[in-house]
Structures are given as structure tokens and as C-alpha cells.
Structure 1
Amino acid sequence: MRLIPETSQLVKNACRSFSTNKLQPVTHVIFDMDGVLLDTENIHKLSVTTVAAKFGKTYNLDLRYRVLGAPELDGAKMVISELKLPLTVEEYVNMVREFEKKVMSDVDVLPGVDRFIRHLHKNNVPFAIATSSAKKSFDTKTMKHKSLFSLFHHVVNGPDVKKGKPAPDIFLACASKFPDKPPPNKCLVFEDSPNGVRGAKEAGMQVVMLPDPLLPKNLCTEATVVLESMEHFIPETFGLPPFN
């Protein structure tokens, strides 16, 4: 694990962990969406917190981090089971979606994302998205940024694969959709969740983790590199074209 300088004190305290592993050059980039490209995780946290509160329950940090990055239905089952909510999965999902659709269409991209995506596109580096979000949810979240998201070569949504994160399926499927079908070790993944990091590593890929500032240290140990923000990423450390 390598923690790039300039990270906040919160991330230093939560995820300080290092490795002497040499970073390997890559040719393709795969991005998770929520919490990596778009500032959606706080909205999702608020929506689940609101639903849980209707039944006198608390959506605690431990449960949140287990749900983070999991496919929508898997996350729903975890919340219902853990909090003993008197809801079916369908009822729970509908309540969360009803809350989120009021605000998700206006969500912003995270710092450094626009610059990096356009840099990759300008330099002909292939890049794609592997997200646990379903197609309908993806379309809502990206509505405000259609021009930017049109630059991605392709998108693999969670329901399109048999097993969701932390299984490696979605990352392997995403890599296979590039025309030149790169081997896993030539793909660099950007993730924010422990589930996503674990899946990418299982797929044989290097991972840049952009964790929640309060994520406990023991949940940040599997990534290749940990950054506070996309703004701190240095492309040439992975053999990608440097910023001008």
C-alpha cells in the first residue's frame, strides 16, 4: 500500500498503510461510479438513514461499510436483515429509490474527475465503467453530465453479471469488452469501497482506492494505492501519459 502525500489528516489516520510493491504499468482504466466519479455516496447514506429512521432504526457506520459497493439487491438484503426492517426487498428498494430520484439527477462529479477523464480521452487511453448501479439508476445519476460520460468506451452494470462485488466478475466482464481485450494486469481500477477493491484484486488488477475519510484502517489495506481525491493521482506512476 502506498499513500500519496497531501492527503487529509482524516485519511492519514484512518488508512495509513504502506507497501513496497512496485507499481506496474497499465494500458486500460476501469472506474467504479458512485463515490469515485460522482458524489452520490452521501445521498445514498442519507436515503438509507431516512428509510431506517421511519422504523426507529439506525444505519450505523459498520453496516454502511459492509453495504458500500455491494449490488443494490444484496445491499438491500443486508440492511433489512441487520436492522430487522418489516419490509420486503422490493418495498425497501422502492422507498430508497423514491427518496434518491428527487436529488440524484443533480449530482456533481467529484474533484479531479473531469480533468482526468478528458486527459485519458485526449491521449487515447481506453477507459470504462464497472458499477453496481442498474442501468436506470446509472442514467439518472449521469443525466447532468452526458457529455463527459459519453467519452467512456462502455459501461458494465451490476445486474449484467452473475456475481456482484466483491466477486471479480464485473471487472473481468468490463475488461473483456475493450476491443483489444487487455489482460487483467494491464487494467487499473479506481474504487472507493472495500468490496470493490477486493473484487478488483481478485480479478488480478491494481487498484487506486478513494475511501470515505472515516473508513477504518483495517478496511483500507488491500488497495495498491490510497488517495484522498482523484486530484492527487499521478498518471505516470502507472505508466499512463502525464498531465501537461
Structure 2
Amino acid sequence: MTSIKKLKPVTHVIFDLDGLILDTETIYTDVANLVLGRYGKSLDLETKLRMMGSRGLDMAKRLVELYQLPLTPDGYYEEVKKEYQTRMPNCQLLPGAVKLIKHLHSYKIPIAIATSSSDLTYELKTRKHQELLSNFHHVVCGGSDPEVKHGKPAPDIFLVCASRFEDKPKPGDCLVFEDAPNGIESALAAGMQTIMVPSVETPKEIREKAHVVIDSLDQAPLELFGLPAMEKCSCKSR
């Protein structure tokens, strides 16, 4: 396996949540289309990709402006949050998540979550998955955490997340797993290496920004970053 980007050993691993560990992106898309549909609008692919990984209110501001909705950003956000109440608690784990998380935890690799969700939305979507999520050292909810001043693609959330490990690793010692273009940009801006698990809709030029691209989390080539290897994987390196 080859890479045109030089890969360095890491000591800590940070995960995004939506569309990576939990299958929530379809819920976000369906809810956005439901609310937009009330005003004769629908979410196009380019906008969807640009919104992925954004904080809730940041996304609301952009959509209200882009689609010229007769709502305030707060009003739009309240409408989608009502839908989340019934849909998010039923979200499922994505392929490979359990295997990778338990593997890293078994080797005592410090792991954490950096999600753009608010505390409330995080609680909704994770209530059925507490056993798995107990393997993480900590969780940063960028949608409500006062230390996260700017959402993805700014580096704030990953820098805050790294600072909350007990030994406070340098950004270069952290590996980030992401599915969203905004998340990859955020992690790179923070000075971290990245593994991307993109949706099938993600264009090639966006995928190429990540250090490594894989189809599912259980394909992660951890050994390339100095971490204990899982089973042999088949993946594309950038």
C-alpha cells in the first residue's frame, strides 16, 4: 500500500459521530427536505455536502439565507429539532464501528469523539448505544460547548478535543476519522492526520484531501500510523 502523503505515528484517535459511527446523515437529509418542502424547496447535493458536519444553528443560518426561507435561523432550527425528537433515538451503528472502537480500546489507545451536535441532540441519538460509547475517554459537543468558538471547517473542535485528553497530546499526535468534507478540512486545519470514510456522493477532489480513504471503519490501516493493526484491509490511500 502506498501513499503520496507522508504518514506519521500517532498516539491518540478522535472520531466524528454522524455518518461515521452512527447512521444519521439520512435522517438529517430527510428532515431538512421535510422542512424545506413546507416552503417549496428541496436540498440539492452540493448544499448537502457543504452542510455535512456543520453545527445545527450554523446550518440553519446558511439554509435560510440560501433558500430565502420566510424563517429566522432559530425558527428553522426549532422545526428540525422537533423532528429529531422522534427520529434520532432510532439511529443505528454503521458498519465497522464496533470492531474499530473495541480494538483501539482493548489496546488502551486514548479515543474521543468530536461532534458538531449539541448536548441535547447527542443524547437523543446515542441513548441506545451507551455501552459502545463508554469506551471513549470524552466527548466534545461542538454545538453547545462554550470552548468551541467556531464550527467545522474551523479547527476549534479538534483542538479542544485533543486538549481534554489527560496527557494533552500535540495535534500532530492525533489521528481523526471523518466522513464529512467540513470535518476533513477542520482536522487538517488543526494539524492532524485524517482517515476519511466518505459517502458515495463525495467527489474525488474532496476525498483527495484526506491522508487515507476507506469504505468502512473496519478497513482502517492503523499500522500505517503506528497503531496496533486490525485484520488486513483493502483501502485507497491519498
Instruction: State the TM-score, normalizing by the size of structure 2.
Output: 0.92
Q: Tell me the SS of whatever aligns to 1:101.
A: helix
**Does structure 2 conserve the Cα–Cα contact (< 8 Å) formed by 1:47 and 1:96?**
yes
Percent identity of paired positions between Structure 1 and Structure 2: 47
Q: CA deviation at 1:20?
A: 1.3
Q: CA deviation at 1:19?
A: 4.9
Letter in 2 for 1:204: G
| Residue deviations 1:76-122 (CA, integer Å, cap 9, x gap) | 11111111111111221111111122121011111000011111111
1:213 counterpart (182, 200, 212): 200
User: Which residue does the alignment assign to 2:29?
Assistant: 45
**For residues 123 and 19 of structure 1, what CA distance do their matches in structure 2 show?**
26
User: Which residue does the alignment assign to 1:13?
Assistant: none
Q: CA deviation at 1:227?
A: 1.2
Q: State yes or no: 1:60 paired with 2:44.
A: yes
Q: State yes or no: 1:191 paired with 2:175.
A: no
User: Which residue does the alignment assign to 1:97?
Assistant: 81
User: Which residue does the alignment assign to 1:182?
Assistant: 169
**Does structure 2 conserve the Cα–Cα contact (< 8 Å) formed by 1:26 and 1:186?**
yes
For structure 1, the residue ranges without an aligned partner over 5 or more in a row are 5-17
The 5-angstrom pairing of residues 223-238 of structure 1 reads 223-238=210-225
User: Which residue does the alignment assign to 2:20?
Assistant: 36
Q: CA deviation at 1:194?
A: 1.0
Q: CA deviation at 1:231?
A: 2.2
- Number of residue equivalences: 228
Q: CA deviation at 1:152?
A: 0.6
Letter in 2 for 1:224: H
**Does structure 2 conserve the Cα–Cα contact (< 8 Å) formed by 1:213 and 1:228?**
no
**For residues 101 and 220 of structure 1, what CA distance do their matches in structure 2 show?**
32
Q: State yes or no: 1:144 paired with 2:144.
A: no
**For residues 199 and 66 of structure 2, what CA distance do their matches in structure 1 show?**
22
**For residues 54 and 208 of structure 1, what CA distance do their matches in structure 2 show?**
37
**For residues 18 and 6 of structure 2, what CA distance do their matches in structure 1 show?**
28
**For residues 82 and 162 of structure 2, what CA distance do their matches in structure 1 show?**
33
Letter in 2 for 1:120: L
User: Which residue does the alignment assign to 1:14?
Assistant: none
Letter in 2 for 1:186: D
Q: CA deviation at 1:22?
A: 2.2
Q: Tell me the SS of whatever aligns to 2:128.
A: helix
Instruction: State the TM-score, normalizing by the size of structure 1.
Output: 0.90
1:125 counterpart (109, 112, 115): 109
Q: State yes or no: 1:86 paired with 2:70.
A: yes
Q: Tell me the SS of whatever aligns to 1:144.
A: coil
**For residues 235 and 131 of structure 1, what CA distance do their matches in structure 2 show?**
22
| Residue deviations 1:56-80 (CA, integer Å, cap 9, x gap) | 0111011111111111111111111
**For residues 101 and 239 of structure 1, what CA distance do their matches in structure 2 show?**
41
